[in-house]
Amino acid sequence: MSNLKKSPWIIHYDGSSCNGCDIEVLACLMPVYDVERFGVVNTGNPKHADIFLVTGAVNEQNKEIIQNIYNQMPDPKVVVAIGACAGTGGIFSECYNVTGGIDKVIPVDVFVPGCAARPEAIIDGVVKALDVLEEKNKRLRAMSTGLASMSIERAEPKDLKEILALQKTAFQSEAEIYNDFSIAPLNQSLDELTADFKDKIFLKAVIDGTIIGSVRAEVKANRCFIGRLIVDPHFQNFGVGTRLMHAIEEACGDVGAYELHTGHKSKRNLFFYKKLGYKKFKSLKISESITRIFLEKNRR
Amino acid sequence: MNLLIIIISYIVCAPFIGGLLAGIDRKITARMQARVGPPVLQPFFDVMKLLLKENLVVRRSQNFYIWFYLFFIIFTGVLFFTGEDLLLSIFALTLAEIFFVLGAYKTSSPYSFLGAQRELFQIMAYEPMILLSIIGMYMVTGSFYIFDIVRFHKPLVFFLPGLCAGVVYILAIKFRKSPFDLSMSHHAHQELVRGITTEFSGRTLAMIEVAHWYEYTVILGFVYLFFAANPGVGILSVLVVFFLQILIDNVFARVKWQLTIQSSWLVALTAGLGNLIVLYFVRK
Amino acid sequence: MPRIPLMNILWARAFCRKCNTAGRGLCTYRKIFMNCIVFLIAIPCVAAFFLLFLRCSILRGAIVFFTSFLVCCASIFLLVTQFNREISYFDFVLPGISSAMTVIKVALAAYIFFIGIKHKNFVISGLIALQVILFLSFEYTHGHALVVAHNLFIDKFSVIMVMIVGIIGSLIAVFSLGYMRDFHEQYHKEIKDNRGLFFFLIFVFLSAMFGIVCSNNLLWVYFFWEITTVCSFLLIRYKQTDESVRNALFALKMNLFGGVAFIAAIWLLYQSTGTIELDKLILHGGGIALLPVVLLGFAGLTKSAQMPFSSWLTGAMVAPTPVSALLHSSTMVNAGVYLILRFAGVFQVRLAGFMLGIIGGVTFLIASFIAITQSDAKKVLAYSTIANLGLVVLCGGIGTYEAVWAGILLIIFHAIAKGLLFLCVGIIEHKIHSRDIEDMSGLIITMPKISIMLQLGMAGMFLAPFGMLISKWAVLKALVDFNPVLAVFIVFGGTATLFFWVKWMGRLLIVSGEPRDLEKNISLTEWIPLSGLALLTLGICALFPVVSSTMIEPYVREIYGVSIAMSRGNIVIMSIMLGLVMLFPLSFINYGKNVKVVDAYLGGANATPGTSFFGPGGKMTAMETRNYYLTDYLNEKRLLEFGAVLCLVLIAFMFIVSYW
């Protein structure tokens, strides 16, 4: 049994429940059920936690909170939705203010049914979650050691679905910077992507059969327009982006210059492109909050 | 050569001893609460797990302070167990604590901030007592060197009973246990979320935990100095004092920082200073 | 005087063995040293007069640079040639110099008298009148009979003080060029530009300080002492606002008390021993009458702003920052403790000395606690200065060889670190328009170099293995050997100092909001002294064993016949610690690698950007934090009152005991 299973730390959040499930969760920590004998500690801090125990349904007020707490947890992490409300909205699912179960806002790994869920069921759920946690950890380890074995290839039509999902995940942080979730990358449909595939060169970065990055480019009038450089958030800062850029620049063939664009507040992207030799030459205001900065690099 | 062996064996063994103590603490606490409790080796599982986790930060330079915290705690331990100047060891310990506090400030988060301030209060509370006991030891043995203090022919506790009692009182502050677990709390006794350690995760949190284990060895070593004349009695007293801390931890609730400082200074001024004054006049 | 090659001067010791090992008499080499001292006293004065009348800032800058450079060189020259010599005495004879001093003295007294009348502060007029009467009557009755063999002298302690005044003083003078230019042209256009007077006073003050530490003739020390009082008054008053004038008058009043005590002491000393030369007086050791020495100690207490006189120093913070740095932390206040340390041998084993020490200890304790409650950066620095001077007074009062060693060490480290701190705070005040610590958030990002120097200065004040920690350790050891119960001052005061410094350091590190660059437009004249002082802070910590063994220990041995030897093991360990702490900046090589940045935990209610959160009603609120100032528990006014009463009682007791 790995150490992750021997020392699961939990953070407990109550969405909008009647507190019944919460009391049952607390009961688990008390002498009769005593989950501490498994090493479970109720830390109240997402940064210290492995398992996110959520009770209660999601409503407008706590949607962001649940997402924030989830984002502030370090990988590998699992989510356990406890009780009927956390699963589907329970008895309140048709209320005007209730959005639904937890899986509407974050990915859930284990659902523990019940109203209120009994402590034995909760412990059962946590143990199952530990197995999922173990799985995720293995995948994470494999992936990060697998970076050495990363390969960059031309994408195929069957990869488009995966690339689209990755695109939506990777552009989340961009959307957050501008507080605008209507940006094009987040709202592109699969058909549009397939249409794009015909005109553009698509590259994918693969480790162990899983796509962790992608980039596309179009050659027009002796210029190569590069766009939608995406890297799975777990694999950022490992040089994947740089390798993809080099690869796409090569794949474009004999062109005079390369061009791309990003938002004016995307400091990290700007820094990244500057490091690769791109220089700003134009800026265009495309909406209230976003000014697009265009960068180019001449081919030597 | 001998010195090198001592240093290396300390650096390697101390975390195990500290971790075992932490594990025994949790087990005894659980049994006192009529629970089964985690296995005694649980702290080691915790640290190993933390090493597997992603390292999240709020500010990119916050982890550097923790590296230096760990490093200087080890440095203190090495100074202490190689018999060097006791004052210098305590100053090195203070330096390490300051790095910890600054790291928490650096994270620019409100819970860390409050935790850091409370940690400063804790340092303010226990430092006078520790310094007064070191002065007491100097008065009795004539030397600040641990090497000499340990070899003194009589147990220091006979000359310094007040100071010893004072040190046992502030031990809870140094161990960060109830009733003085102001800045952070092990396990689930939250008040400021996780206090000073709130914004550290993964490997850095593991380093903090290991640093605390080293600190346990230094603190208990300090208590041992009072009973050093007879090693068996010394170790037994250390274990008794540790058990006493666990008992107090489970019996008392957390107090406010005002009470922490007021009571420790009161103890320092009465038991501690009183002891020193009596000693001064007896010696004359 | 024959021409002497420079190299030979530096090896003068070898040649001077011929001449008289007691160090008296005047061979050619020693004439050079004496001339050096005279040079140090005279040159800043001459430069000052030039600066008074110059309007052109380029010429002013050139003269300031040139003079500062000369002063630095002369101080270092004195160090290099003196560090292995014994005490040297010089009979500096210049016809008419004592009459000139008398004339200047009376003229200054008349000016102060007039100031007192003008501001209806009759205490001032009364005090100065009393001083003048005492002085003139002394001159009249004993002037002709007075025979002074040696007016000037130089020993290792003087050399240390010369170095402090020379190097730190010159660096601060250079700093003032850029600082005062910004002060008048950008930040305080409403204040009349009187920079000529400003620099005049700074340089006259430097002359006077050199005079104090190199004079063997107590009347001369008194003369220079009074000049520093007047300089301090005029410099505090520089801004000419009501507040400045009020505080300047208060400072003048407090220092005049000291002046009266000084001249009274000279009277009594002459009457009981027939001499007013420092060396002869100290030779008498415990034999001389205690009362005049206690009077001198009292004068030192006023000059060094100990309780109950401490308010003048905190009030003096209205002056421009270079004044605070130079006068009120690094040099002038050191004159008071210098005098006390000189007479430490007399204070040893005397109850009066013990009382003096307790006054210092009480000041240290109370000032440290008051500093916790202050959020104005300059006030914090002022109280910290008072506290540290209290420690030095404690050492002087105890008077054992260990204590004197510790005291000198304290003076050195404190002067450097405090100078650096004040200069940094001055620049920060200009750039962020505030002196409040709580406004200094994020300074590590907006002004990285300055805040690093600030943190270096702060570390130098309380952190191992830096300077002040070493000195506090030395004081602790000295106290423990003398009377361990006294250690309670250091033990409790020390933890208080730790609290307020770390609070401030932490505040600099907290970042919220957009980074801006506030460090442009800091002139070279400001960077050079800052970097110089920062390097000195580090250097003197690294080199302190050398300083101790070559300068301080020999001095202590000369007076007491025995001295401390710092254990080699500890020195090695401390150097290791210093080296390791200095590695901290290296950690930035790994900046941002292998970490993922997320928001702080705010209960999940994080809003973008950064440290805002959704507060009540969903309103985006910025997160603010504020340090503890403990104002509910520590009341500045009440603590000051308590300290004043206690110390007044102690002073009264001290005088009573010394009279018997």
Distance CA A87, CA A56 (A): 8
User: Which of C509, C570, C577, C627 would you mutate first to test chain B, the one with the most B CBs within 10 A?
Assistant: C509
Say if strands C596-597 and B56-57 run parallel, antiparallel, or are unpaired: parallel
Closest by Cβ to B45, choosing from A7, A43, A50: A7
Kindly state whether residue C602 falls inside one of the protein's structural domains.
Answer: no
Do residue B54 and residue A39 have CB atoms under 8 angstroms apart? no
Do β-strands A201-207 and A110-112 pair in parallel, antiparallel, or remain unpaired? Answer: unpaired
pLDDT bracket for residue B65 (50, 70, 90): very high
User: Do the domain assignments include residue C71?
Assistant: yes
Reply yes or no on whether the pLDDT at C5 is more than 60.
no
Residues of A with CB under 8 A from a CB of B: 2-4, 6-7, 9, 29-31, 34, 36-39, 41-45, 47-48, 50, 72, 74-76, 137
Residue closest to A68 by CA, chosen among A140, A11, A144, A133: A11
Mean pLDDT of B164-187: 88
Is there a contact between C511 and C445 (Cβ–Cβ < 8 Å)?
Answer: yes
Cα four-point dihedral sign B194, B198, B204, B208: negative
Q: What is the dihedral of CA C155, C161, C164, C169, to 10 degrees?
A: -120
Q: What is the pLDDT of residue A85?
A: 92
The dihedral through the CA atoms of C374, C379, C380, C382 has a sign that is negative
Tally: H helices and E strands in chain B: 11, 1
C632-651 average pLDDT score: 91
Of the candidates C270, C246, C199, C176, the residue with the CA atom closest to the CA atom of residue C45: C199
The reported pLDDT for the residue numbered C18 is: 45
| Domain limits for position C122 | 60-588+629-659
> What is the pLDDT, as a whole number, of residue C193?
82
Which token pair is A98?
């209730």
Residue A116 φ then ψ, to 5°:
-85, 155
Q: Decide if pLDDT at C607 tops 80.
A: no
Q: Kindly list the residues from chain A whose CB atom is less than 8 angstroms away from the CB atom of residue B115.
A: none
With CA atoms as reference, report the closest residue to B218 among B169, B267, B146, B269. Answer: B146
- Judge whether C436 lies within some domain: yes
Q: What's the per-residue H, E or C state across C420-467?
A: HHHHHHHHHHHHHCCCEHHHHCCHHHHCHHHHHHHHHHHHHHHCCCCH
Please answer yes or no on whether C595 and B63 come within 8 Å at the CB atom. yes
Chain C contact for A144, CB < 8 A? no
Nearest Cα of chain B lies from the Cα of C621 at a distance, in angstroms, of 13
**What 3-state DSSP class applies to A220?**
strand
Tokens of B57: 């930060």
Q: In whole angstroms, give the CA distance from residue C404 to residue A46.
A: 55
Long-range contacts: C181-189, Cβ < 8 Å, 24+? C181/C57, C181/C523, C182/C430, C182/C523, C183/C320, C183/C430, C186/C430, C187/C430, C187/C433, C188/C239
Return d(Cα A65, Cα C625) in angstroms, integer: 22
In tens, the pLDDT along C175-233 reads 988 888 888 888 888 888 888 889 999 999 999 999 899 888 888 899 999 999 999 99
Interface confidence (ipTM) of the complex: 0.92
Partners of residue A177 in chain C, C-beta under 8 Å? 608
Is the previous residue joined to C609 through a cis bond, with omega within 30 degrees of 0? yes
C604 part of a folded domain:
no
Q: Which residues on chain A are in Cβ contact (under 8 Å) with B56?
A: 47, 72, 74
Q: Which tens digits make up the pLDDT trace of C297-330?
A: 999 999 999 988 989 999 999 999 999 898 877 7
Smallest CA-to-CA distance from A144 within A210, A79, A78, A73 is with A210
Which of A122, A99, A113 lies closest to A12, judged by CA? A122
Task: Report H helices in C19-121.
Answer: 28-53, 57-82, 97-118
Question: pLDDT at position C268, please?
Answer: 86
For residue C4, is it within any domain? Answer: no
Kindly provide the b/e burial profile for residues A201-240, where b requires at least 16 CB atoms within 10 angstroms of the residue's own CB: bbbbbbbeeebbbbbbbebeeebbbbbbbbbbbbbbebeb
Sign of the CA dihedral with B169 first, then B170, B175, and B177 last: positive
For residue C46, being part of any structural domain is answered with no
pLDDT at C354 over 80: yes
How far apart, in Å, are the Cα atoms of C286 and each of B235, C87, C581? 52, 21, 45
Residue written as token pair 């699992």: A78
Return d(Cα C194, Cα C237) in angstroms, integer. 11
Instruction: Calculate mean pLDDT across residues C241-254.
Output: 91
Asked whether residue C403 carries a pLDDT value surpassing 80, the answer given is yes
Distance from CA of A149 to the nearest CA of C (A): 19
Return contacts of A163-166, CB within 8 angstroms, 24+ apart.
A163/A193, A163/A202, A163/A204, A163/A211, A163/A214, A163/A230, A164/A188, A164/A190, A164/A193, A166/A211, A166/A212, A166/A213, A166/A214, A166/A230, A166/A232
Confidence bin at C610 (pLDDT 50/70/90) = low
Contact B190 A44 (CB under 8 A): yes
Using a CB-CB cut-off of 8 Å, the residues of chain B touching A29 are 188
Judged on CB neighbours under 10 Å (0-12, 13-18, 19+), C485 is middle
Q: Classify residue B137 by burial, with Cβ atoms within 10 Å: 0-12, 13-18, 19+.
A: buried
Q: Note whether B139 contacts C480, CB cutoff 8 Å.
A: yes
Map out the domains of chain A with their CATH numbers: 3-144 (3.40.50.12280), 147-298 (3.40.630.30)
pLDDT (0 to 100) of residue B48: 93
Helix (H) or strand (E) holding C658: helix C636-659
Whether the bond into C308 is cis, omega within 30 of 0: yes
Nearest-5° Cα angle at A197, A192 to A203: 125
Q: What is the mean pLDDT of residues C275-292?
A: 75
Using the structure block, give the residue that is written with the tokens 């949790």.
Answer: B26
- Cα C83 from Cα C224, distance rounded (Å): 25
Q: Which two tokens stand for residue C96?
A: 């008419």
Low-confidence ranges of chain A (pLDDT < 50): none
At C377, the amino acid letter reads: A
Average pLDDT of span B43-60: 90
Interface of C with A (CB under 8 A): 593-594, 596, 598-599, 601, 603-606, 608, 614, 618
C608 touches chain B (CB under 8 A): no
| Main-chain phi, psi angles of A19, to 5 degrees | 75, 0
pLDDT at residue C146 is higher than 70:
yes
- The CA–CA distances, whole Å, from C317 to C193, C321, C637 equal 19, 8, 17
Q: Which of C365, C452, C469, C502 to mutate to test the interface with B (most CBs of B within 10 A)?
A: C502
Contact between C389 and C305 under an 8 Å Cβ cutoff? The reply is yes
d(CA C503, CA B120): 8
Query: How far apart (Å, rounded) are the C-alpha atoms in residues C317 and C378?
Result: 6
Subunit partners of chain A (3 or more CB pairs within 8 A): B, C
Distance of CA A195 to the CA centre of its chain: 25
Instruction: Establish if C241 belongs to a structural domain.
Output: yes
A64 in contact with C, Cβ within 8 Å:
yes
Contact state of B35 with A6 under an 8 Å Cβ cutoff:
no
Whether the CB of C438 is below 8 Å from some CB of chain B: the reply is no
Omega before A76 within 30 of 0, i.e. cis: yes
Residue C23: is its pLDDT beyond 50? Answer: no
Is C606 close to A66, i.e. CB distance below 8 A? no
pTM given for the model: 0.86
